[in-house]
Chains A and B, each alone.
Chain A
Amino acid sequence: MNDERLEQILKNIGVEGIPAEAHKIAEETFNNFSESLKQSAQPQRTFLLEHIMRSKITKLAAAAVIIMAVLVGIHQFGGSIDGSAVALARVVDNIRRMPWLHQVAKGLVKGEQVILEQWVSFDSKIFATKRSSGSIEYRNLTELREYFYDPCSQTITISRIKEKDYSPFQGIASQASYLDGVIKTLGDEGGEVTKRSDKYKGKVVDVYEISFSEHPAFETSHLKLFVDPEKYLVIGEHVKATDKDGKVLMDCKIELDYPQNGPGSIYELGVPSSAKVVCPEKEKTAFQVVFEEAITAIDARESWPAPRDLVITYWEARAAKNYGEMAILWPGSVLWNRELEDEKPAECLFGDVQATEFEANIIVPYASKEYYEQNHTYNLKMWLSNEKSAKGRYYIVSGN
């Protein structure tokens, strides 16, 4: 490739307009991120707990996540259990420092044999669960997205994890969940943690035993954590729970390891690349709401400027800091146009309207007066569309 062609490609990228969709994505991403930060005084910790609270805790999934919940619970609530909790707190901190936690749980839950494999990354905020049924769940809390693979329909369903569902501890009381009971019992009423040395798979380990009773779901629950005394990491767990008649409801063994890498996507958990992906319609985003409001306002006006005049009007409004008018002339821009508060008014010159390859889109070229006088050409473009207006009126969708 010669210099000129490379330069031309780069210049073309440079003059590309930024589509309204990009602004929308950016806005949503910022909003989600801000909201998550606001709702979490200590993001690293609460993200995990929130996930556990929100998990579809069914069958063995409960067993697999419960240990983490217990550990987090002890840590989170200050754990006035006894001295062993202090040692466990160190184990918890060590686990959090690991890039990934991988656990495989096998056992009996309410009469059914279940196998479950789970990956947790505290830094990347990824939680993945693979069940013996073949279903796979991949939750990315950074993206606020959940990917669920159903092996029967061979379909991946992508859904949005709602920000409001991430408020720390939300729903604990109302769910009366197993975790609720665990944490309450340990944190408020006092569970019992004992520590001793024993062997686990031929290795000398510290065994922490945690017992509690009078739980809404189980009469008694007994957890054993096998901790590597050198690395301060849990390498095995055993959870057993009975009902009031002494019948075993849950008896699971869990093995843990801490790999450097984990699944980067749901496909790395074995989902075939041929799986159909569906993304059910979600509720309207903030962008959709304000965009539609602007379009309604455009169509409601008695008269509307021609495309070139529309762009000129927009820049006049922008110079005058008339945000209300800007929000209508460029639908959706209300979400970000106040960020232009510090912008100095620009004097621009505008070219003639140009068609594009897309029927509904046209371009109005423009340049700063200074640039035009130096170069006698327009270096910038405003993209307009009339696609969403019932009256076919043009509005701004992008610009650079």
Chain B
Amino acid sequence: MKHSERLELFENVRARYSVFLTSVLWKLTGDKELFTEAMQYSLFGIWRNVEKLKGEKAGAYIYRIALTANSKAWRNRVGRNGEILNDPIDPAEDADERLDRAETTAIVRREISRLPRKQARAIVMRYLEQQDYQAIAEKLSCSKAGARSNVSRAMATLKNKLAVLA
């Protein structure tokens, strides 16, 4: 495929998915620096795979690209200085609660980035995008029960990981 054709495809993907990418990556990262990094990885992913992003399966690829980008961004961050980021805080909470909540949220985000791709996608669709199981099933090409199962397996994985860290 010619460079100009790839460029055109890239712009089409951008027009269609930039709001989605912004929303999902922000919710997955919750931090400006991580978000920027994840967005950059996503764009590289889109550019590399742009030929695949014109058919019916484009949406699935975009999810995959976004989740991979998110994982990479988190890996870099954790690998670099091991810091866990703070979320915006609620002044009504006391200091301990605030710290605990912010840290836990950051850990949950980080652990989502380490989930198997299908489970991560199920969690993102269910909780971050607030989709119902029917919609998740359609997007994951599985039954409604399968969608529930993916979400619950992801929750179990997350819970186990968080229990280890506790």
Q: Is B68 an interface residue (CB 8 A)?
A: no
Q: Is A143 an interface residue (CB 8 A)?
A: yes
A336 partner, pick from B18, B30, B76, B81, beta carbons under 8 A: B18
User: Given A12-B105, A25-B32, A142-B40, A30 and B18 touching (CB < 8 A)?
Assistant: yes
CB contacts (< 8 Å) of A33 on chain B: these are: 40, 43, 47
Residues of B within 8 A of A (CB): 3, 7, 10-11, 14-16, 18-19, 21-23, 25-27, 30, 32, 35-36, 39-40, 43-44, 47, 76, 79-81, 90-92, 104-105, 108-109, 123, 126-130, 155, 158-159, 162-163, 166
Q: A13-B27, A13-B108, A27-B18 given; name 14 further pairs at CB < 8 Å.
A: A6-B159, A9-B105, A9-B108, A13-B105, A13-B109, A22-B26, A29-B36, A29-B40, A34-B10, A34-B14, A265-B80, A339-B19, A379-B130, A400-B23
Distance to closest chain A CB from B126 (angstroms): 8
| Chain B residue at minimum C-beta to C-beta distance from A16 | B27
Q: Measured between alpha carbons, how far is A1 from B130 in the docked complex, in Å?
A: 22
B3 and A26 within 8 A (CB): no
Q: Measured between alpha carbons, how far is A11 from B91 in the docked complex, in Å?
A: 20
B15 and A339 within 8 A (CB): yes
Using a Cβ–Cβ cut-off of 8 Å, how many residues does chain A contribute to the interface with B? Answer: 41
Considering residues B10, B27, B44, B158, which has the most beta carbons from chain A within 10 angstroms of its beta carbon?
Answer: B27
A1 and B39 within 8 A (CB): no
CB contacts (< 8 Å) of A10 on chain B: these are: 108, 123, 126-128
Secondary structure dominating the interface of B? helix
CB contacts (< 8 Å) of B130 on chain A: these are: 14-15, 379
Q: Measured between alpha carbons, how far is A28 from B43 in the docked complex, in Å?
A: 12
CB contacts (< 8 Å) of A336 on chain B: these are: 18-19
CB contacts (< 8 Å) of A22 on chain B: these are: 22, 26, 32, 35
B108 and A37 within 8 A (CB): no
CB contacts (< 8 Å) of A215 on chain B: these are: none
